[in-house]
Amino acid sequence: MATLRCEALVLRSVDYSESDRILHLLVPEVGRLTAIAKHARKSVRRFGGTLDLFNRLEVEIARGRGSAMSRLDRARLIHSYAPLRTDPARFALGCYLLEMLDRMAPEGGSRTDVQRLFQFAVGALDWLASHPPNAQVRIFLELRGLDALGVRPELRRCVRCGRDGIEGDVVDFHIPDGGPLCGACAARRGGDRLRVHQGTLRALEQGLDWDLARLDRLVLPPTALGEASRLVSRFQRFHLGVELQSERFLREMLPPPSGRSGAHSQGPAGP
């Protein structure tokens, strides 16, 4: 077994057999990795409380060959995101982001992509630990998570013809194509669409591109918040193709914005 010494973020921790624990880890070197921590629940010396959800660790892992599970041999706590444990809304949003990464992060893949994903995860948890969450934070962190997973929506050009400067205050955002349509393409293209203000798309673009530290300076008005929430939610469901289990809990702890706009959505329709 090859030994891997690296950083890791605990995405999920599941009790296994009488005294073991199975960990889902995000590792900047290899992506998502599952490892068994033998006797983790019994021995306070071996791992102590280090294998908890959200914890950032320095680990030593014996990599399993082929389909064999890797084994966690050593773990040292680098950082514990304590505020995520003491605020149910932060806990809910943190769990939601971890589930998204756990379900969608690649096992393997290019080192640059995986390191970018790890940087997103750590940055998002750092941000959540130091800022109170709200519906807007959820939208931006979810969108940035999708971007880190390689699923970034087009927010400026027509997603069909590539035309910049789409006319009109309100445009059709095509969910399967993942971007807005210009008037000509909208007339020809059917399918699941959402009417959104271009101002909402600009705000989402800023939410994606601005430095995380500046994110709290961006304040969306209620109309844009409602549109952005619906857009990101539908875009995520379509492009990830999974229903995240933790969403119901997140909606309970951090209700989505109720602001509705004059723009409207259109359900799936044939071309």
Partner 1 sequence: MRNASAVERLVTSLKRLPGIGEKSAARLAYHLLGATDARVEELADAIARVKKETVLCEECFDLTDRSPCEVCRDERRDRRLICVVEEPADLVAIEKSGRYHGVYHVLGGAFAPIDGVGPGELRVAELEARVQAGGIEEVVLATNPNAEGDATAHFLSDRLRPTGVRLTRIAYGMPLGGDLEYADHVTVGICIENRREID
Residue selected from 6, 12, 69, 163 as contacting partner 1 according to rule CB under 8 A: 12
Burial code (b: 16+ CB inside 10 Å, e: under 16) for 57-86 equals bebebbebeeeeebbbbbbeeeebbebbee
Q: Terminal CA-to-CA distance of the chain, rounded, Å?
A: 53
Least distance in angstroms from the C-beta of 147 to partner 1: 22
Distance CA 174, CA 185 (A): 10
Least distance in angstroms from the C-beta of 67 to partner 1: 17
96 near partner 1 (CB under 8 A) = yes
Distance CA 131, CA 133 (A): 6
Of 77-85, 132-140, 191-199, 212-220, the window that binds partner 1 (rule: CB under 8 A) is: 77-85
Tell me the one-letter amino acid at 26.
Answer: L
Of 64-72, 181-189, 205-213, 244-252, the window that binds partner 1 (rule: CB under 8 A) is: 244-252
Residue selected from 26, 59, 91, 236 as contacting partner 1 according to rule CB under 8 A: 91
Judge whether 220 and 232 are in contact, CB under 8 Å.
Answer: no
Least distance in angstroms from the C-beta of 49 to partner 1: 6
Distance CA 160, CA 173 (A): 11
86 near partner 1 (CB under 8 A) = yes
Contacts to partner 1 from residues 168-207, by CB under 8 A:
none
Q: What interhelical angle do 88-104 and 222-240 show, nearest 10?
A: 30
Least distance in angstroms from the C-beta of 102 to partner 1: 8
How many CA within 13 A on the CB side of residue 31?
Answer: 16
Least distance in angstroms from the C-beta of 96 to partner 1: 7
Nearest to 143, CA basis, from 234, 9, 55, 221: 234
Of 62-70, 98-106, 127-135, 156-164, the window that binds partner 1 (rule: CB under 8 A) is: 98-106
76 near partner 1 (CB under 8 A) = yes
Distance CA 196, CA 174 (A): 10
Least distance in angstroms from the C-beta of 6 to partner 1: 18
Binding site for partner 1 (CB under 8 A): 12, 17-18, 44-45, 48-50, 52-54, 76-77, 80, 82, 84-88, 91-92, 95-96, 98-99, 102, 245-246, 248-250, 252
